[in-house]
Amino acid sequence: PSALLEQAESSKVPVLQTDALSSTIITKVTSHLQELLAPTSTVHGVMMELFGVGVLLLGESGIGKSECALDLILRGHRLISDDLVILKKYGPGSLVGSGTRDAQPHMELRGLGIINLTQLFGVSVLSPEKAIDLVIQLKRWRKEEEYDRLGLEEKSYRSLDVDLPLITMPVAPGRNLATLVEVAVRIQMLKKRGYNPAREAIESLEGRLTKGFVAQGDGTT
């Protein structure tokens, strides 16, 4: 209506016109605004999708993130971004990781240079984006540092006011990072279902120790 257009013009409010159904255009505009206005951050790392789980690999430059990602790709998993990961917050407890469209097919490997993954392995090795379910921090092995050997310690990685499960994984010669990452993802999948293998092992051991003490005890404290 002309009255609406006059008011919009005087108030400097844009008016959009479309032949699409109201429900369709509202959904599209809402999705576009959510993408455009979502809080965003960037991190130096590698984003992968393993068994449907979004995994963010972090660590200092040269520690082997890209090499680990390449090994995971050869095992059938998919890359979302190498080197630069864009984090977007779409909800109160959800972060989505993605990469830039131009850089996504490329990966830098020391000694080989820049490779094009789609040319080598096909487009199926790439995924556009994925919600982050697990963060794995790669750190160089140091004898003086203590590492979690039982798997009971719960850590978190915080970004954009969202806390994500964090595993700190020491890197040393002879350790197969790709295998360890796969196992870490499988454990995280079990934890989501309410099963913690480390806690079960400790409880089983404590139960056997208690039974052994009762069986061998003489009734005195």
- Is residue 106 flagged as an active site residue? no
Which residue in 77, 78, 82, 83 is the catalytic one? 83
Residues facing 138 on adjacent strands: 59, 169
From 28, 44, 199, 208, active-site residue: 44
Could you say which of 12, 101, 110, 149 is catalytic? 149
For the question of residue 149 being annotated catalytic, the response is yes
Cα dihedral sign for 158, 159, 163, 165? negative
- Asked if 65 is an active-site residue, the reply is yes
The burial class, CB within 10 Å (0-12 / 13-18 / 19+), for 174 is exposed
Token pair listed for 73: 């790709």
Judge whether 44 counts as a catalytic residue.
Answer: yes
Q: What is the 3-state secondary structure (H, E, C) of the chain?
A: CHHHHHHHHHHCCCCCCCCCCHHHHHHHHHHHHHHHHCCEEEEEEEEEEECCEEEEEEECCCCCHHHHHHHHHHCCCEEEEEEEEEEEEEECCEEEEECCCCCCCEEEECCCEEEEHHHHHCHHHECCEEEEEEEEEEEECCCCCCCCCCCCCCEEEEECCEEEEEEEEEECCCCCHHHHHHHHHHHHHHHHCCCCHHHHHHHHHHHHHHHHHHHHCCCCC
Residue positions annotated with a catalytic role: 44, 65, 83, 149
